Amino acid sequence: MIKMLIILIIGAVVAVVGAGYYGGFAIAEGKDERGQVILGKSSQMVFPFILFGFAFMLVFLQMGDPSITQIEAAISIWMTLIWGISTVSLFMLKRKY
């Protein structure tokens, strides 16, 4: 139970930081051509992880016999990875361009 709480707290922090950074970037710099390119490339980096997550969840639910807690943990980790990768890719692309 404590492990799940830690996963949820870390996921919430990463999601809030990621959403704030993404939203701030989109508002401040996403209107010009450079910002649009950075947002597009960042989305291209994140999209395969979204597909991988769906495939993993389908296999996990069909092949395993997961409990509700395990499903919640898998979805939390998946969403945390997506927000984290999005934030890191925006940060790296912003420095590159």
At 3, is the pLDDT very low, low, confident or very high (cuts 50, 70, 90)?
Answer: confident
Are 4 and 73 in contact by the 8 Å Cβ rule? The answer is yes
Per-residue confidence (pLDDT) for residue 59, from 0 to 100: 95
How many helical (H) and strand (E) elements, i.e. helices and strands, does the chain have? 3, 0
CA–CA dist 92, 3 (Å, integer): 31
Sign of the CA dihedral running 93, 25, 22, 16: positive
- C-alpha 50/C-alpha 56 separation (Å) is 10
- Give tens-digit pLDDT for 4-16: 888 889 989 999 9
Per residue in 43-92, pLDDT tens? 999 999 999 999 999 999 999 889 998 898 899 899 999 999 999 999 99
Per-domain residue ranges of the chain: 2-96
pTM: 0.84
